[in-house]
């Protein structure tokens, strides 16, 4: 059964709308067309001097990570109000050409569910290598490479879905990972969010630059 969701933002879709069996019911969306929409996505973790964000061209959430190895996490206004909530997060993500060449190899963008500062599931992609990773409580539990992942300067639509013990990730509409959590109670977070960062050390102040857009948080249809 889908867990109840506590919303600190206006519900943008009626729960009574009929949807396909594998679709989700949108409870929050953000296209970052207003500064208040940009400010609604707040910091969850990451060093302030190295995890940067901006209202990009008044139409997207711009992000940058400076100096290499670092994980930056943001949270949406949506969280579950019970343990192990069933949630879906979707977002368009792009690593732009402003990313320094030295920072491209390990730069990533991702989405998160059942998230907190310490816990959560993260599905992220590394565009340069066309690789993906699924993390549970900051530990990589599944990883791979898939041609569905677009490279640098191209857009990727990312999705992570948590339903019961099943955690899945999709890129540009293609399913790339389905993971059965062996002990889902160990993930105590209930939030939803976005992540960005770099897996590798980078000399000097080289940075990876990207943006997020068309963010949606959903609950699975019954």
Q: Give residue 203's pLDDT.
A: 82
Q: Give residue 22's pLDDT.
A: 57
What totals of helices (H) and strands (E) does the chain contain, helices first? 1, 16
Domain residue ranges of the chain, discontinuous segments joined by +: 5-12+29-220
Which residue, 214, 209, 218, 217, is CA-closest to 59? 214
Q: Which residues contact 164 (CB under 8 A, 6 or more apart)?
A: 84, 86, 184
pLDDT per residue as tens digits for the range 85-105: 999 999 999 999 999 999 999
Q: Are 113 and 120 in contact (CB under 8 A)?
A: yes
pLDDT per residue as tens digits for the range 18-57: 334 457 999 999 999 999 999 999 999 999 899 999 999 9
CA pair distance 103, 93, nearest whole angstrom: 17
For the chain, residues with pLDDT lower than 70 are 1-22
Domain 5-12+29-220 falls under CATH 2.60.120.560: yes
Beta bridge partners of 108: 197
The alpha carbon of residue 30 and the mean position of all alpha carbons in its chain are separated, in whole angstroms, by: 13
Q: Give residue 14's pLDDT.
A: 36
């Amino acid at each position: 059964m889908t867990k109840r969701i506590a919303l600190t933002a206006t519900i943008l879709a009626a729960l009574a709308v009929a949807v396909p069996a594998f679709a989700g019911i949108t409870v929050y969306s953000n296209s970052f067309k207003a500064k208040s929409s940009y400010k609604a996505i707040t910091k969850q973790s990451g060093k302030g001097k190295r995890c940067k964000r901006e209202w990009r061209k008044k139409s997207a959430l711009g992000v940058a990570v400076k100096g290499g190895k670092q994980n930056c996490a943001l949270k949406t206004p949506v969280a579950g109000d019970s343990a192990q909530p069933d949630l879906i997060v979707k977002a368009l993500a792009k690593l732009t050409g402003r990313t320094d060449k030295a920072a491209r190899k390990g730069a990533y963008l991702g989405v998160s569910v059942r998230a907190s500062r310490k816990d959560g599931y993260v599905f992220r992609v590394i565009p340069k290598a066309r690789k993906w990773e699924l993390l549970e409580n900051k530990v990589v539990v599944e990883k791979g490479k898939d041609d569905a992942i677009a490279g640098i300067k191209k857009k990727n639509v990312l999705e992570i879905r948590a339903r019961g013990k099943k955690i899945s990730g999709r890129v540009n509409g293609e399913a790339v990972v389905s993971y059965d959590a062996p002990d889902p109670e160990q993930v105590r977070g209930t939030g939803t969010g976005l992540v960005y960062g770099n897996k590798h050390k980078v000399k000097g102040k080289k940075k990876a630059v990207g943006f997020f857009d068309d963010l949606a948080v959903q609950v699975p249809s019954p």
